[in-house]
Structure 1
């Protein structure tokens, strides 16, 4: 057992008289996460000691190159949370709000090496088959259906009425679940990412719904992702099936919903971009790429664990330490973007989809959903415009994501 205070990681600069550790949760983090990232960069460099919920210690990787080093080297920085020292030493209980995001699960994200390859193959094959069966058709259907609900009103909130639900409805169709299940899962998925006391309860709700789905598909197979996992030659057991359904649903919905909302915000706060998009001079994919660099849907990625003592960003990271990857600050790292206002068009090396062996397997599906969602919206709602001044649009952040509170719009009826 380390004789240093359990309140700081071993080797942490705070042990040598540095300022109190910054928290990646709470009121300040909710309103000004970018300010916290930049302050930490000035104080500590490309890697900084921070506190997560419950004052659990972690290292926040702020530098682009350091993030790539961590993501590309699972033998040095593993995804398997069973080596997490705070977990092993009992500082993180089973009902801790970090558990849904950081703890080990029987899915491909939580494992490395051969175990990861086996499970990742099943996920990749299932997602590939889903694309082949017409994800764009499902996206078009549900985009129109969501718009039908508010098209006659002349006004809407594109977060609550559109971006917040659309990806979930498409993903539940992909999984073979019902639309009613999808609408129930929207709130639970969002609350898992927000953390706090509700995260564990809503994670259990998601698992219950998806466990029932797996049982139904085992009895009545269909042409869907769930059946594909059940029948895959990798022979996933029940817990592995449910964990991968959860992975695809929660990660896919939350990130795609947030990315869609941010793309719509960018379009609606810049008349020139909107005009260029409608005229065909600008593509939706180019706007998505811009948002990926400047406002990635996942601000901080959980988590990696040091396999042994290692130096990173001038700090000594010790075996069992937790690292979280700052995708948002990494994309704004002045070493790779000395001028953050410069165009990054054509440069796809952002961190928004993570990197390395655990890079997001469903990115093509998310991008297809967003392209269809924006295209249908602009065609269905002539004269679409913001209903409030751009400066009145606000966001609220959790440790992991920064979400638009609302995006009120008006349009012709």
Structure 2
């Protein structure tokens, strides 16, 4: 079989079959770590809105690059399910249980892994639980921990706002939401980062997270509190232990990594543009407007895992087969020239970006993340007047994995 045929059917030119090609682009490795945006644009030129790629372990997938194609996948769970149990490469034994893809793509008993009525039952429990847990003071928790983090470096006159602020702040807040001790939250930062980073340690760190959260769930059965864990255990949907732990894991990893990354990018944008910084300080610009801009240009998840075709179909001119894995290029879709021909045009007031996903699985905790970031930026600028970037903007670097691109450091100076 050559790259232009699939089971005897002609494949569109420029869109080779995702399976069996030795020269497909890898979404991992040195090039992917340093220039993911360049890879997306090269793939768009070569293949159009959908491109065949290889994930870790050289597992084939379709990367969806087009905005409208991403929306089609996200909005149609009957054609593109989140249920990984139909993933052909996994069913046929080409994906090991120790693969770093499993923590990100594999099936779990949570709402993200299911569609239809099972999804509605579980998502309803999570949504209710988050509302109950966060209504008791998410902004108060964010203010407390933001000040506590700043206290650690406020007298030094300098800091790295990635390592000293953005990297830990969301997790510390989530420990209160979930009912964890603060010390446990600090340990979980490393494990959450490793799951997103991939590599051979991803599964080990994923198991560490599940162990800590399993112990939390058992503790909360006898010591209930005003937290998400207790809310899930007591919800009328009657979640079993595996379902409770899986949803705590989902909220922990998704809530921390995306909010941490987004906070760092918002601070980067503010500190590399004097007009934005002065606008925030003077009140002429809101943090939410800056967040919106970052959501378009550098979404916290660049690639969203994953969907699986429920039947043979065509997407973006490509012959997708039943059981094929698709990963959603949120960053690429946001800059699709078909819907955004000029990236320099302001997107203020336009919330149709893909950063929160879309459709039935759209992120249920986006308002929580927004609140954390607004408080984090406001407290920082209030506590450290005169805050400025300590290096030229062009010296700021990022490192990417398959799923995200994270700012390496954000050194700042301020008068003391």
TM-score class normalised by the smaller sequence? over 0.9
Matched, 1:33 2:36: yes
Match of 1:144 in 2: 147
Is residue 365 of structure 1 aligned with residue 339 of structure 2? no
Once the 2 structures are TM-superposed, how far is the Cα of residue 134 of structure 1 from its aligned partner? 1.1
Separation in 2, partners of 1:376, 1:301 = 31
Q: How does 1:295-314 map to 2 (within 5 A)?
A: 295-314=298-317
**Pick aligned residue for 1:160 from 163, 167, 175:** 163
**Matched residue of 2:63: which SS?**
strand
Secondary structure, aligned partner of 2:343: coil
Could you tell me how far 1:5 is from its partner in structure 2? 9.2
**Ranges of 4+ aligned residues in structure 1 off by more than 2 Å:** 8-12, 14-19
Q: 2:408 aligns with which of 389, 399, 405?
A: 405
Q: Note if 1:245 corresponds to 2:248.
A: yes
Per-residue Cα deviation, 1:314-373 (whole angstroms, up to 9, x for no partner): 011000000000000000000000001110000000000000000000000000000000
Out of 69, 72, 93, the position equivalent to 1:69 is: 72
Cα drift, residue 219 of structure 1: 1.1
Does 1:128 pair with 2:122? no
1:292 is matched with which residue? 295
In the alignment, which residue of structure 1 is the partner of 2:47?
44
SS at match of 1:333: coil
TM-score of the two chains, using structure 2 as the length reference: 0.96
Taking structure 1 as the reference length, the TM-score comes to 0.97
What is the CA deviation profile of residues 274-307 of structure 1, one whole-angstrom value per residue up to 9, with x for unaligned ones?
0111001100000000000000000000000000
Q: Which residue of 2 aligns with 1:275?
A: 278
Task: State whether residues 107 and 243 of structure 1, in contact with CA within 8 Å, keep that contact through their aligned partners in structure 2.
Answer: yes
Given the alignment, which residue of 173, 177, 187 partners 2:176? Answer: 173
Q: Match for 1:92 among 67, 92, 95? A: 95
Alpha carbons of 1:269 and 1:358: their partners in 2 closer, same or farther (altered >3 Å)?
Answer: same
- Please, which of 171, 191, 194 is the counterpart of residue 191 of structure 1? 194
Alignment check: 8 A CA contact 2:82 2:115 kept: yes
What is the RMSD of the two structures over their aligned residues, measured on CA atoms?
1.7
Counterpart-to-counterpart distance in 1, 2:133 and 2:158: 34
Deviations 1:2-54 (Å, cap 9, x if unpaired)? xx699x99766158998821110000000000000000000000000000000
Query: What is the CA–CA distance in structure 1 between the aligned matches of 2:160 and 2:18, rounded to whole Å?
Result: 47
How much has 1:129 moved relative to structure 2?
A: 1.0
Q: Give the number of equivalent residue pairs.
A: 409
1:331-350 to 2 correspondence within 5 Å?
331-350=334-353
